[in-house]
Amino acid sequence: MILENVTVADINGERRTSVRIEAGRIAEMAEMIDGEERIDALGKVLLPALVDTNVRLKDGRLTGKNLADLSKAALAGGVGTVVLAPDSSPAVDDSISLEFVQNQQAGCKGAKIETTIAATIDDERFSNIAILLGRGAVAPYMTTSISNHLAVRVAEYVKMFGGTLYCKAHDRNLSANGVMNEGRVAQRLGLVGIPPLGETVHVARMIEIAREFGISILFKSIASPRSIEMISAAKREGVDVCCEVSLHHLLKSDEACEGFNTVAKLNPPLPGEEALEQLREAFEAGAVDTLTLLHQPNSPVNKEVAFADAAYGCESIAEALPLLYTKLVASGWISWQRLIELCVRNPAKTIGKQMGMVEVGTTDLVLFDPEETAKLKNPQSLYDGEVIYGSVDEVFRAG
């Protein structure tokens, strides 16, 4: 297949060219390419498939069907690789659960599913980190609810075996009864709030652990501007830490929870209006390293209940690329190049992969049509009813 006049977008920017694709891989790139089966792709964009490293399964259940459904939905949204958080039921914290994910992946027809492994079991004892990483888990994942002693031991393992530690910063005691961001909206709704301090104090702690042991940490789904400020300062001092933020936390405030809207019940909670503006400023300043859609789908039985009882999460992966294009690129907020840095190169780097280029030999590519429009119809999406731009025309994968 030859794509003529296509706009190629990658971490080096944009250029118009022709591309020959054979068996799902780029075989040739040039202004003019001879051959049959030609498609005029003028106006369309060829870019690397996205990578999302903060994805959960429906209702948090680790089943073959949920893995297959996730794989299919992700590829439809232009996401070529998803990385599971290990806090499913059962948790991915031993060789049996890891092998189950890997065996099920062989039957999935969509996006490639990688998984992290829980660094601890029940926040009390170690999982077998060394063996699980050796068997194909892409990164250890820990929450800061564990003790200082365990956190230091996890850091020692990461230093020994290399790679990036995925770290979710939260305080179990401060957030135990909370269901949304602590602030005026929570007070108005009569709901218990979660203070941002529960995140920031643990980010500070883990920065010092990263500094002490010389390890790499990706802070997952950061929601506090102060956390980003501390991470940025640590980077300037040479500490190997980076910051992940969800698209939703750049677009929506806790006002979305009005009317007890359980779709807006996320973990971490959506920020207040002032914090939202500060998060946007940090994003514009380049302080955010990776973006996630924070996909965490739930059955209606777990969402269509009282706000305090509802499960956390919303759906977003099936519309990932159109949403990101609409909200960030088409709006003029960022370029294609910056989007690919945030959603391909940087997240791939945290799992030991080099991605983000479109060149001869590249596979996992998306052909995207920015001119298509559609009204999003998904009651479990924060953007239900909104018009989004662009559609995934084709995904090219090796073989």
Asked if residue 394 belongs to a domain, the reply is no
Crossing angle for the helix pair 64-76 and 95-105, to the nearest 10 degrees: 50
pLDDT computed for residue 185 by the predictor: 97
Q: Report the mean per-residue pLDDT for the chain.
A: 96
Q: What is the pLDDT of residues 267-306, one digit of tens each?
A: 999 999 999 999 999 999 999 999 999 999 999 999 999 9
Pairing of strands 50-55, 45-48: unpaired
pLDDT, position 86: 97
Between 126 and 179, whose confidence is greater?
A: 179
82 within domain boundaries: yes
Torsion sign across C-alpha atoms 9, 13, 15, 18: negative
Tell whether 369 is covered by a domain: no
Q: How far apart are CA 101 and CA 95, in angstroms?
A: 10
In a domain, 68, yes or no: yes
* pLDDT score of 389: 98
Number of independent structural domains in the chain: 1
Q: Does residue 90 lie within any of the structural domains?
A: yes
Q: Which strand (E) or helix (H) includes residue 38?
A: strand 38-40
pLDDT for the residue 229:
98
pLDDT in the model for residue 36: 85
pLDDT at position 5:
95
More confident residue, 82 or 37: 82
pLDDT higher than 80, residue 399: no
* 322: CATH: 3.20.20.140
- The band of 73, judged by pLDDT with boundaries at 50, 70 and 90, is very high
Has residue 155 been placed in a domain? Answer: yes
Asked whether the bond before 90 is cis by omega within 30 degrees of 0, the reply is: yes
Quick one: pLDDT at residue 176? Answer: 76
Q: Distance between CA 395 and CA 368 in Å, rounded?
A: 9
- Tell me the per-residue pLDDT of 220-266, one tens digit each, with 9 for 90 and over: 999 999 999 999 999 999 999 999 999 999 999 999 999 999 999 99
Nearest to 386 by CA among 370, 375, 397: 375
Q: In terms of residue numbers, what domain contains 252?
A: 49-356+374-388
Q: What percent of the chain has pLDDT over 70?
A: 100
Q: Work out whether strand 216-219 and strand 241-246 pair parallel, antiparallel, or are unpaired.
A: parallel
What are the φ and ψ backbone dihedral angles of 261, each rounded to 5 degrees?
A: -75, 105
The stretch 307-333 carries a mean pLDDT of 97
- Identify whether 204 is part of a domain: yes
Q: What pLDDT does 348 receive?
A: 98
